[in-house]
Amino acid sequence: MNSLFKTIVLIGRPSTPTLKDPIQRLMEMLPTHGVRVLVEQETAREHQLDNCQSVTQENVGKLADLVISLGGDGVMLGAARLVAPYHVPLIGINQGRLGFLTDIAMSTMEEQVTQILQGAFSPEDRIMLESTVVRDGKEIDRQLAFNDVVMCRGNTGAMIDFELFIDGKFVCSQRGDGLIAATPTGSTAYALASGGPILHPSLPAIALVPICPQSLSNRPLVVTDSSLVEIMLTRARDVHVYYDNQYDVRLQAHDRLTVRRFRNTLRILHPHTYHYYDTLREKLRWGEQVV
């Protein structure tokens, strides 16, 4: 049976020599389903895959009908930012430690990928964030994030003073180590470690989680995903904004950081046996059902 997807791009986690074998296995298997296989350029170079067609990161979303990421959640976060502008679906094969997003085990890779190619999958659309940095009235940076946009202090240890606005309305002033704006997907990442709530991935919401606020009355806040979140830095000695902890920009006093929902959702294709609460129970080591 031919695949629902005609062109598939493979992206592997960097500095992981053990991924060469599973990548080659997919390169051999996928064409038997009528699939054209491309390998992201840096992945192909690292594993010396001279017998494949490679593609630059800039062209992944333009050429792929489906992207398969191999490694852990980190590589899937990076792949998400590449494909979301093009509505390209994504699946993840886990060789990481936690794997909230990469829900296909390496041991069952061929079987489950084959089932997905034949239409046996559960699609799920998840929101992403778009963030801009405005300095002296000019936009100096614009990025996407799948998990979170994190404004936090650097190495100097100085706390940050900032003001928070939602939809143009002043909410509060805060002093602390920073603020996390997390998607429901990212609510189980840094935001959770900072005391934020777990949001179901289907919720149209953004979690705003203070990082070590000076005032204990500053608590996590959940807003609708149609909100425009603005952060105005009033004092900043060594402050950065991080996107999925993979890219950062240094901020200055009086910079304005805006966060809003990105226009496109990201579609993840899960195996048909996937269930979100099973993932939470496994990854967070919750108790098993007794009755």
- All residues at 6 or more sequence positions from 193 whose CB lies less than 8 Å from its CB, including other chains: none
Pairing of strands 169-176, 160-166: antiparallel
Same domain, 94 and 143: no
Angle, to 10 degrees, between the axis of helix 109-117 and the axis of helix 20-29? 40
Tell me how far apart the alpha carbons of residues 52 and 267 are, in angstroms, rounded to a whole number.
26
Please give the pLDDT value at position 100: 86
Q: Measure CA 287 to chain center.
A: 27
289 located within any domain: no
Domain harbouring 117, CATH code: 3.40.50.10330
What does pTM read for this prediction? 0.94
Same domain, 14 and 106: yes
Q: Which helix (H) or strand (E) holds 158?
A: none
Q: What is the count of structural domains for the chain?
A: 2
> Is there a catalytic annotation at residue 73?
yes
Domain harbouring 170, CATH code: 2.60.200.30
CA distance from start to end of the chain: 41
Among 158, 163, 176, smallest CA distance to 212 is for 176
Same domain, 167 and 96: no
Question: Does residue 6 sit in helix, strand or coil?
Answer: coil
Please give the pLDDT value at position 48: 93
Please give the pLDDT value at position 1: 60
Same domain, 197 and 274: no
Same domain, 254 and 275: no
Point out the catalytic residue in the list 21, 50, 65, 73. Answer: 73
Which portions of the chain are predicted below pLDDT 50? none
Same domain, 108 and 181: no
291 located within any domain: no
Same domain, 149 and 252: yes
- According to DSSP, the residues that pair with 166 across neighbouring strands are 169, 229
> What tens digit of pLDDT does each residue of 110-145 get?
999 999 999 999 999 999 999 999 999 999 999 999
Same domain, 103 and 179: no
Please give the pLDDT value at position 236: 86
Same domain, 155 and 99: no
Same domain, 42 and 17: yes
Same domain, 135 and 251: yes
- 253 contacts 235 by C-beta, under 8 angstroms: yes
Structural domain including 50 reads 7-127+265-283
